[in-house]
Structure 1
Amino acid sequence: MLIEKGAYHQRTKEINLFSFVTILVLTVIIAIVVKIIFAQTQPQTISPLPDPTGKSGTFSLFFTKETKDPTLLLTQIKKIIDQQPGNYSVYVLDLINNQAFGINESVILTAASVNKIPILATLYKDAAAGTIDLNEIITLQPNDIQYYGTGILQGEGPGGEYSLKSLAQLMIKKSDNTAAFVLMQKLGATKVQGTVNNLGLTQTNIEENLTSNKDMALLFQKIYSGQIVTKTNTRALLEMMSNSDFENRLPALLPKNVKVYHKIGTEVGFVHDVGIVETIGHPYYIGVMTSDISGEEQAETTIGQISLLVYQFMNQAN
């Protein structure tokens, strides 16, 4: 059967056009698929989120497809703190996958007693190096007694004898200011600041009593991971920070079987609590620091509410 020449060329033209369109469509589809796959494998950083209230505050997030998106959680936290007087810094760091998110986490604040943690870290670091004996006995002198704030030693007066280890325990569990003063005198502010600097903290000033949530997260991460002292002493450090006299902030609303290794800080206008919440297989750092606070009890309640929201988020199924 003969095919007319014109009809043959027409059919060839149609086939070529169809092939071109098919290739073009396939190319577009492949490009879209590649883009989607690439996007899913990249960390997503979002900062800042809109602040509809006009109140100062910046969200920062870091998450991948293997971690949970904390955007809703941060929105809930922001709603809580926007209803409170004062300013809040919140930071969360997953110690397993390094997921991190926060609000104003890099703001430098008066540390209050939070800066007793660098003193503790320096003391045990020196003990591990053999330059400090934790069993050394110190006799309290009249100038050692700090007649302000928290602690029991101010009520006992001079003359008491305590080991460095006992002073460390009092400094953390009871936030004893006299114990902290004596240990700082023993170590020296320069040495403590040197420890801080060597650990990579860039916003912590011991003599000026300043720090940030992000710096404290790094310090707790290094303590928890055993980068400062031996495994045995790491556990000793952590146990000092559990079941303190101040369990009405971060641990307040959490299940009683959950370990919280933390340190509070309180000064006029400042109410803090920072530390590690140890859930089975999933420890995380959480810090809530504040400034310009008018009511300490309300701030403590708010810290507890934020801690509970974060705990629920960190323990939900992926």
Structure 2
Amino acid sequence: MKELRHKVQSVLSGAGGRWSIVIINQATRERLEINPAMVFPAASMIKVPILYELMRQVAAGQLSLDESLIVAGASRVGGAGILQELRPDIAMTLRELAILMIVLSDNSATNLLIERVGMNAVNQTMTALGLTSTVLRRRMMDFEAARTGRENETCATDLALLFELIYTSHGLPDQYGALMVDILKRQQIRDKLPFYLPEETILANKTGTLPGVEHDGGILFLPGGPYIICVLSGDLTFNYQGIQLIARIGKIVYEHLYEEE
């Protein structure tokens, strides 16, 4: 991946902020890494560990995806998502909440799932899986917690590993890995890595956004096999710069890898 590294570094050379990239060929195990262990505020990328922990507990018989929770007024928070716009006290299954958490990055759905699976359980599972820099410290939209230092964090190495484990259903029956990939494939926030890609391209991904932070990562499916790709950015002067640059990186990576196929 030397040529691809050169192309990506050329794009990043004029960029401000901090950047981290991990790309893995699942077939050959070849890797491209730029600042892979650099730690960032996780933003909504933390929702992928929550998804994994939910499926782990369901697989263990601790929870059922058909269990319903009431989305009470106190559970509704702002930011991304649709639940805050729906009727009061609507009932949603854990499966539906997981879908909303990923495909629309719904913050209310995420907080309900954090409460149901447990913050400590998410962190313990991520540590057991080998994610050394990923930690869930606060609920979505709890900016007071973030200001006091309780910020959710992750790095590209951790996220790439987690996407690999999801793809291979590591530690879970195959049906749960397949379900997570299916949910990630239905992602509706498409303004970064997939923005310039052909419409038929399959990318099972999750994005993240905070002031000065833009992330995107997931599993890119190509004819020759899947690639894991994670791009994280922080300390951006303007968020649109990160969005545009990640979209350019997605185009460069896709075109280079597709040519290699």
Match of 2:145 in 1: none
- Tell me, in whole angstroms, the C-alpha distance in 2 between the residues paired with 1:131 and 1:139: 19
- Find out whether 1:104 has 2:47 as its counterpart: no
Aligned pairs (5 A) from 1:62-81 = 70-81=1-12
The partner residue of 1:128 within 59, 71, 75 is: 59
- Tell me, in whole angstroms, the C-alpha distance in 2 between the residues paired with 1:243 and 1:293: 28
SS of corresponding position for 1:85? coil
Counterpart amino acid of 2:162? Answer: L
Superposition RMSD on alpha carbons, in Å? 1.5
Match of 1:299 in 2: 242
Unaligned runs of 5+ in 1: 1-69
Residues 8-33 of structure 1: CA distance to partner in whole angstroms, max 9, x if unpaired?
xxxxxxxxxxxxxxxxxxxxxxxxxx
- Find out whether 1:216 has 2:159 as its counterpart: yes
- Tell me, in whole angstroms, the C-alpha distance in 2 between the residues paired with 1:288 and 1:175: 18
SS of corresponding position for 1:283? strand
Q: Are the aligned partners of 1:145 and 1:158 in contact in 2 as well (CA < 8 Å)?
A: no
- Tell me, in whole angstroms, the C-alpha distance in 2 between the residues paired with 1:134 and 1:243: 18
Q: Are the aligned partners of 2:97 and 2:109 in contact in 1 as well (CA < 8 Å)?
A: yes
- Tell me, in whole angstroms, the C-alpha distance in 1 between the residues paired with 2:158 and 2:88: 35
Match of 2:23 in 1: 92
Aligned pairs (5 A) from 1:162-177 = 162-177=92-107
Counterpart amino acid of 1:289? Answer: L
**Largest Rg, 1 or 2:** 1
TM-score, normalised to structure 1's length?
0.75
- Find out whether 1:278 has 2:215 as its counterpart: no
Match of 2:141 in 1: none
Aligned pairs (5 A) from 1:182-261 = 182-207=112-137, 208-261=151-204
Unaligned runs of 5+ in 2: 138-150
Match of 1:11 in 2: none
Q: Are the aligned partners of 1:111 and 1:211 in contact in 2 as well (CA < 8 Å)?
A: yes
Aligned pairs (5 A) from 1:139-178 = 139-147=70-78, 149-156=79-86, 158-178=88-108
Match of 2:13 in 1: 82
Relative contact order higher in (CA < 8 Å, ≥ 6 apart): 2
- Tell me, in whole angstroms, the C-alpha distance in 1 between the residues paired with 2:80 and 2:184: 16
4+ runs deviating over 6 angstroms: none
Counterpart amino acid of 1:249? Answer: K
- Tell me, in whole angstroms, the C-alpha distance in 2 between the residues paired with 1:205 and 1:234: 21
Residues 271-316 of structure 1: CA distance to partner in whole angstroms, max 9, x if unpaired?
0001110112320111111001122233222111111222223233
Q: Are the aligned partners of 1:95 and 1:285 in contact in 2 as well (CA < 8 Å)?
A: yes
SS of corresponding position for 2:232? strand
- State the Cα distance separating 1:317 from its structure 2 match: 3.6
Distance 1:122-1:73 versus aligned 2 partners, 3 A rule? same
- Tell me, in whole angstroms, the C-alpha distance in 1 between the residues paired with 2:16 and 2:64: 45
Q: Are the aligned partners of 1:274 and 1:288 in contact in 2 as well (CA < 8 Å)?
A: yes
Aligned residues: 248
Residues 95-133 of structure 1: CA distance to partner in whole angstroms, max 9, x if unpaired?
111111121111010000000000000001111111111
TM-score, normalised to structure 2's length?
0.90
- State the Cα distance separating 1:256 from its structure 2 match: 1.9
- Tell me, in whole angstroms, the C-alpha distance in 1 between the residues paired with 2:76 and 2:126: 26
- Tell me, in whole angstroms, the C-alpha distance in 1 between the residues paired with 2:134 and 2:163: 13
- State the Cα distance separating 1:157 from its structure 2 match: 6.0
